Amino acid sequence: MDLETAMKRIVGEVANALTRFAEKKRWKPNDYWIYYNINADWDLVLLIFVSRQIGESEEDAYYHAVWQFLIEHFKEDPAILRYFNLLVRSKSRVDKGGLYGIGPAFEEYWTVTPSSRPRVESESGT
């Protein structure tokens, strides 16, 4: 597997884990965002996990909670934890911009979840 493909796989796996973290917290899909930048020169993915459910004073606590979740989530494949750096930010701090803004090198990761299919009723109405 080439390096770029491997790094994209890491982005997908970590983003899916972050999505599970958000779901566990009962956050709605519009309550959080995942941004990433693949730095192929350093073999490293930079991820920024942003949520409107996180207060500015809670960022450190959430950072630790997210890492503990990821350690547990990847306990079968802990090597993946070496290939990314993670920032956890409140939406309000990101909105202020400056050092806390999302730079142009970052892309937003779109988590696609299957929507529930409408129930199809039989001719008998059941």
pLDDT tens, residue by residue, 12-40: 999 999 999 999 999 999 999 999 999 98
Q: What is the pLDDT of residue 76?
A: 96
Domain ranges across the chain:
3-109
Mean pLDDT of 54-76: 97
Q: What is the pLDDT of residue 104?
A: 93
Band (pLDDT 50/70/90 cuts) for residue 119 is very low
Task: Please state, in angstroms and rounded to a whole number, the distance separating the CA atoms of residues 100 and 35.
Answer: 13
Single pTM value for the model? 0.84
Query: Does residue 114 surpass a pLDDT of 90?
Result: no
Architecture of domain 3-109: 2-Layer Sandwich (3.30)
